[in-house]
């Protein structure tokens, strides 16, 4: 699907793009350029960049630019962007600024938003066995998928993908605690606990050759942070009775039904 094939005019759902950025001066302009044809608001959060990204973003017209004075983490940047987007949008599409995601794939998320269901859609990356795919990404995806399920989360094939559709304000009300990469798995588990559907949608992926790739994932540090996050979720699952989680899901369903009735009045 080519960018621009879905116009924002006359669409059922209001959607904004949220782009968290940290030291991606070389790639963020191309990402933003690929999103423009859709006509949706673009919220960019500069999470304390120090490499000249700020100057690149200052030169981008027509975006809503937010800044963290210091680096607070990807989860914090996403939350900042989604809070801003919620003022005028029903859904947020998150896309990484490193160029691995193709803006042309955003159409699958826009179509999902227009179906009317309140859900999280994960861009399940195809081509993860390519020659330039880092081993940390291949290993991390399988590791994360297993522990998301073990913690009582959804059965997904790509729990680490940053290309996603989020319903607003539901995601902002989940009570997540992580603020770095771990937020993206915590949100899936807590969404599932509260009865918010999580689905996979196919998207492409493109990794730059080693030496040209920009990644802020630190295998040792972030592995232990992931382990701590999964441990907390797993033990919460054990000690929070399923009946309580079921009641939470039921309340979420009732709230959704109330919104539907109000919309029909």
Question: Residue 192 CB: number of other CB atoms within 10 A?
Answer: 22
CA–CA dist 92, 78 (Å, integer): 10
Confidence check: pLDDT of 6 > 50? no
With a pLDDT cut of 70, the percent of the chain lying above it is 70
CATH code for residues 15-264? 3.90.550.10
Confidence check: pLDDT of 116 > 80? yes
| Confidence at 176, pLDDT banded by 50, 70, 90 | very high
Whether the Cβ atoms of residue 187 and residue 242 lie closer than 8 Å to each other: no
Q: What is the pLDDT of residues 10-35, one digit of tens each?
A: 578 999 999 999 999 999 999 999 99
Confidence check: pLDDT of 130 > 70? no
The reported pLDDT for the residue numbered 147 is: 84
Q: Give Cα 133 to chain centroid, integer Å.
A: 20
For the chain, give the mean pLDDT: 82
DSSP 177-215: ---STTHHHHHHHHHHHTT--EEEEEE---PPPTTT---
Confidence check: pLDDT of 133 > 60? no
Confidence check: pLDDT of 8 > 80? no
Q: What is the pLDDT of residues 186-197, one digit of tens each?
A: 999 999 999 999
């Amino acid at each position: 699907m080519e960018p621009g094939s879905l116009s924002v005019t006359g669409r059922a759902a209001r959607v904004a793009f949220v782009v968290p950025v940290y030291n991606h001066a070389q790639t963020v302009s191309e990402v933003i350029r690929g999103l423009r044809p859709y006509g949706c608001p673009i919220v960019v959060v500069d999470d304390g960049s120090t490499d000249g990204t700020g100057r690149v973003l200052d030169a981008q017209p027509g975006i809503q630019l937010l800044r963290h004075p210091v680096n607070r983490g990807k989860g914090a940047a996403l939350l900042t962007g989604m809070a801003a987007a919620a003022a005028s949008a029903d859904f947020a599409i998150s896309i990484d600024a490193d160029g691995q995601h193709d803006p042309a794939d955003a159409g699958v998320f826009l179509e999902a938003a227009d179906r009317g269901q309140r859900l999280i859609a994960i861009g399940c990356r195809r081509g993860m066995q390519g020659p330039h795919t880092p081993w940390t990404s291949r290993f991390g995806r399988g590791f994360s998928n297993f522990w998301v399920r073990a913690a009582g989360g959804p059965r997904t094939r790509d729990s680490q993908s940053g290309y996603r559709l989020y319903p607003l304000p539901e995601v902002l009300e989940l009570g997540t605690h992580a603020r770095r990469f771990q937020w993206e798995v915590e949100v899936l588990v807590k969404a599932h606990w509260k009865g918010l559907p999580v689905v996979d949608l196919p998207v492409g992926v493109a990794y730059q050759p080693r030496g040209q790739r920009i990644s802020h994932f630190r295998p040792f540090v972030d592995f232990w942070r992931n382990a701590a996050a999964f441990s907390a979720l797993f033990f919460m699952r054990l000690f929070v009775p399923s009946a309580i989680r079921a009641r939470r899901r039921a309340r979420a369903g009732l709230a959704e039904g109330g919104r539907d009735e109000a919309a029909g009045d």
